């Protein structure tokens, strides 16, 4: 028994909406970062679903590249958060003003 493509579409849309709401309403930098990662994963889910439906491996290959870029983004992003926290003692986005010393 196969799962219909509409189920994947609904799940990916729900994940993307949750990620968007989280990125727009939160003040913590790490929470915003995780929300953006959730949106990337919803796009990956759609690529895998369509690759499975069409029987094409191109979508799966693109997902591997997106996951590699997301891993690099996670490493750089977390390093930036650590540096900001060491300098400002907060990662609250509303309290950060990096142009002012």
User: What's the pLDDT band for 96 if we cut at 50, 70, 90?
Assistant: confident
Residue 69 in tokens: 């870029």
Burial of 46 (0-12, 13-18, 19+ CB in 10 A): buried
CA distance 22 to 15: 10
Place of tokens 């907060």: 90
Q: Which CATH number fits domain 5-93: 3.40.50.620, 1.10.287.3510, 1.10.510.10, 1.10.2020.10?
A: 1.10.287.3510
Residue 35 in tokens: 């929300």
Q: Looking at residue 8, what DSSP letter applies?
A: H
pLDDT tens for each residue of 59-95: 888 999 999 988 998 899 889 888 888 887 887 777 7
**What percent of the chain clears pLDDT 90, i.e. is strictly above it?**
46
pLDDT tens for each residue of 48-59: 999 988 888 888
Residue 58 in tokens: 């191109």
Q: Is the pLDDT of residue 37 over 80?
A: yes
Mean pLDDT of all residues in 23-47: 91
């Amino acid at each position: 028994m196969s799962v219909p493509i509409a189920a994947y579409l609904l799940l990916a849309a729900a994940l993307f909406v949750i990620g968007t709401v989280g990125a727009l309403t939160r003040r913590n930098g790490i929470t915003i970062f995780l929300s953006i990662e959730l949106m990337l994963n919803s796009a990956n889910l759609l690529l895998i679903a369509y690759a499975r439906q069409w029987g094409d491996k191109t979508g799966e290959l693109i997902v591997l590249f997106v996951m590699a870029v997301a891993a690099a983004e996670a490493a750089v992003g977390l390093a930036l958060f650590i540096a900001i926290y060491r300098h400002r003692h907060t990662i609250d986005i509303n309290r950060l003003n990096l142009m002012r010393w």
